[in-house]
Structure 1
Amino acid sequence: MKTGLSTYAYFWRMSEKVPRPMSLYEAIDDSRRLGATVFQICDYPPIADRSAAELAQLARYAQQAGITLELGTRSVTPQHLQRYLAIACELECALLRTMIAAGTAPVDAQRGVESVLPRFEQQGVALCLETYEQVATDDLITLVQAVDSSRLGICLDPANCVASLESPAEVVAKTAPYVLNWHVKDFAFSRRDGWVGFTLAGCPLGEGLLRYDEIWQRLQPIERGINQIIEHWLPWQGDGESTCRAEAAWSEHNMRYLLDKQNTTTVSSPNPGGANYVC
C-alpha cells in the first residue's frame, strides 16, 4: 500500500484561475515533501498531448523522487482506453482509473472494457471504475463480476455517490471485495443562507462525515495493496491567494492524517507496492 495525492489535491493551484499554475513536476515535488509515495495524474487532459519522450522524462523524474505514478481519465470507449493504456505504460503506471460516462448503456460499457482488457492484463495494468453519482454502484459491481478479471476493479470514492442518494456506508460494503484504489476525501453538509437547502462540500480529513476508520477496516488496504489517494472538494475561497493557501493547508493536514493513521496500525502487508507493473 502507498499513500499519496492526486492532481485533484492541486485542483486550484494547477488551474488557470491563478497567476502561475503549478506544473506536474512541481506537484510531484510538493507531494514528496508531504511524505507521499504515490501521485495520481487524474483527469489531466494535457497529459495526452505529451510525446513519448516527455512522458518518459516525467516517469524518470517521479522515480527519482521516490514517487509511483498512477493515471486517471474518463470514458470506457475502446479507443480512449487504448490511448490511455499507452500513456500509462510510458509513465510506468500500474493502474488506470476511469469513469463510465453518464448515459452509457451497461452492455456498451461492458463491451468496451472487455475489448481492451486483454491488453491491460498483458501489460500488467489494472483498470479501475470509479464510483460516482452518474452510474449506480450496483451496475459497476455487475460489470466487474461479469468480466471477472483480477485486472478490473473499482476505485472507491464514497463521497461521490451521496448526490444520487446512495449511502456511503452501503457503497463501501458493496464494493469492498472489488476495490483496487481508494480516493480519500472528507465532506460535510452545511445549511445555505436562510436555511434554504444544503451545500455538500469538502473539509479536512477527520472533520466531516467520512468514516475513515470503518472504511479502512473494511478494505484492509495494507494486506490488499490498495493505494490511498487524497483528493479535495475545496470551494473557491474568493480569491486565488486564499484558495491556494487553503488547498496547501488541506493537503498537508490530510497527508499527516493518513500517515499518522498508517503509523498506528500494526498490520503488515504482503504486497506493499500494490499491483505489479510489467509494461
Structure 2
Amino acid sequence: MTRYGTDVKLFDGSSPAWGGPMQLLDAVKDFGLDGINLRTLDELSPTLDAGFLAEWAAHARELGLYVEMGLGKVNPYMTAELPRVRDIGEGSYLVGMQRMIAVCAEHGWTNTWTALGGYKGQYSGLHITDRFRGEAPWPDQLAATAKFLHRLAPALREHGVSLNLETHEEVTTFELVRLVEEVGPDVLGICLDPGNMPVRGEHPDDGIARVAPYVRSTQLRDAALLRTGDSIARFLAPCGEGVVDWGAALRLVLSANPDLNLTVEPIGPVRAEMPVLDLDPEWLASHVDLSAAELDRLRAAADAYGARAAAGEVEDLAQLRAPRPATAAHHDFLARSVAHLRATVADLVPVASSV
C-alpha cells in the first residue's frame, strides 16, 4: 500500500506548521499522513543525543509513521556551509556523516537524503545555484563529489543505508544517474523532486524516465512554467497543477519500486521562482547532455502552461509571485498535492493489478 508523507525542515523557517521535533510527529499524524522526510538528522539533534533520539524514534513508531532522514550534502566545494555536520565529526565532515549513517541504521532509518548544492537566493542569474561557483567549474565539483561518495560508501554498505541524491536545482538527471552507477546503486539512489528539473532545462517527464530505476525516496512538487522576458520562470506548484504528467510518472516509479513512499515537499509564503536561462551561452555550454529536442519540449510546456493561465485554469504570473500566509499556504500546498497523488495512484491500481 502506498504511503504519503511530508518533507520537514526544522531550522530554516520554511516549514512553520509543525512545531518542535516531538510535536511535529503528532501534527503530521493528525494531518492524515503516514510519515516524514526530515531534512537532516543534525536538525533533530545537533549532538546526536542518544536518549532523545531513542525517545523520538519510539514515538514515531507508536504513531506508525515512516521516517526518512537527511544526512547533509555531499559536494565538498559547499560543505563548509554546513558547520553542524562538521561539528558532529569533531572537525571532520566525513566522520560527521559516517556517525549520522550509524545512528540512522540503529533506528531503522535506512532511506536517507542528500543533495549536491543549495539555492543561493541572495544572488541572481547563473549564480543562484552552486553549479556556477566561480572557484570551481561544475565538472570539478562533480569529480570531487564522486570521490567523497566513494569514501562514504563503506559506511553505507556496513550499515545497510541508501543515500539518495535529490534531483536538485543545480544538477541534471544525467549527472545523477552517472554518480549512482559509478559509486554503486547498492548504496546510492535518487530522491525524486520533479519540480527542480526545469531549472536545468529538463522536461520533468523526460527526467523522471531517466531516474525512475533508481528512485528510492521522493520530495514531490510540480513545476509551473511561464515566459518572462527572454527566459522562462519556474515556480513550484502543488502536484497536479503544473506541467508534470503524474499518471505516467507514478506508473514508472512505482513499477520500479512498489514500496516507494510518496513524500511531498510543501512550500509556504513564496513559490521559489527560478529562471531557466535557456538562451545564455554559458548556461547552454554547461548542459552537455541536454538535447535541443528536450529543451524545445520544455519551451512548449511553458507556452502550454501560459495558455492555461490566460484561460484562468491555473495560477498566472501575478498569483504565482504573490506572497502568502506561511502556515496556511504550507498546509494548502501539502493537502492539494496529497489529494492529487492519492487520486492518481487510485487510478493506477486496476492497471497494476492486471499485470
* TM-score bin (small chain): 0.7 to 0.9
Which of 326, 332, 340 lines up with 1:249 in the alignment? 332
Which of 230, 238, 242 lines up with 1:208 in the alignment? 242
Amino acid at match of 2:342: L
Deviates more, 1:76-85 or 1:163-172: 76-85
The 5 A counterparts of 1:9-88 are 14-15=15-16, 22-43=19-40, 45-49=42-46, 50-76=48-74, 78-88=94-104
Which of 183, 204, 227 lines up with 1:168 in the alignment? 204
Amino acid at match of 2:237: C
Q: Give the distance between the partners of 2:112 and 2:346, measured in 1 at CA.
A: 27
| Alignment match, 1:275 | none
| Alignment match, 1:3 | 4
Unaligned runs of 5+ in 1: 269-279
Deviation at 1:128, TM superposition (A): 0.5
Q: 1:200 to 1:214 in 2, by over 3 A?
A: same
Runs of 4+ in structure 1 displaced over 6 angstroms?
none
Q: Give the distance between the partners of 2:4 and 2:250, measured in 1 at CA.
A: 13
Root-mean-square deviation over aligned CA pairs = 2.9
Q: 1:204 to 1:157 in 2, by over 3 A?
A: closer
TM-score (norm 1): 0.80
1:225-266: CA deviation from partner (whole Å, max 9, x where unpaired):
222110124434657xx3211221222232233233333424
TM-score (norm 2): 0.64
Q: Give the distance between the partners of 2:10 and 2:246, measured in 1 at CA.
A: 18
| Alignment match, 1:132 | 168
Say which SS state the counterpart of residue 19 (structure 2) adopts.
coil
| Alignment match, 2:265 | 231
1:120-151: CA deviation from partner (whole Å, max 9, x where unpaired):
22222111111123123222211111122323
Say which SS state the counterpart of residue 152 (structure 2) adopts.
helix
Q: Give the distance between the partners of 1:185 and 1:204, measured in 2 at CA.
A: 6
Say which SS state the counterpart of residue 96 (structure 1) adopts.
strand
Deviation at 1:46, TM superposition (A): 2.4
Q: Give the distance between the partners of 1:222 and 1:143, measured in 2 at CA.
A: 19
Q: Is structure 2 residue 195 aligned with structure 1 residue 159? A: yes
- Using CA pairs under 8 Å that are at least 6 residues apart, name the structure with larger relative contact order, 1 or 2: 1
Q: Number of aligned pairs?
A: 260
1:132-179: CA deviation from partner (whole Å, max 9, x where unpaired):
231232222111111223231111212112112122122112111111
Say which SS state the counterpart of residue 32 (structure 1) adopts.
helix
Q: Give the distance between the partners of 1:147 and 1:196, measured in 2 at CA.
A: 39
Q: Give the distance between the partners of 1:138 and 1:13, measured in 2 at CA.
A: 29
Q: Give the distance between the partners of 1:13 and 1:143, measured in 2 at CA.
A: 29
Answer yes or no: is the 8 Å Cα contact 1:73–1:99 preserved in 2: no
The structure with the largest alpha-carbon Rg is 2
Q: 1:216 to 1:14 in 2, by over 3 A?
A: closer
Unaligned runs of 5+ in 2: 77-93, 118-129, 131-137, 271-321
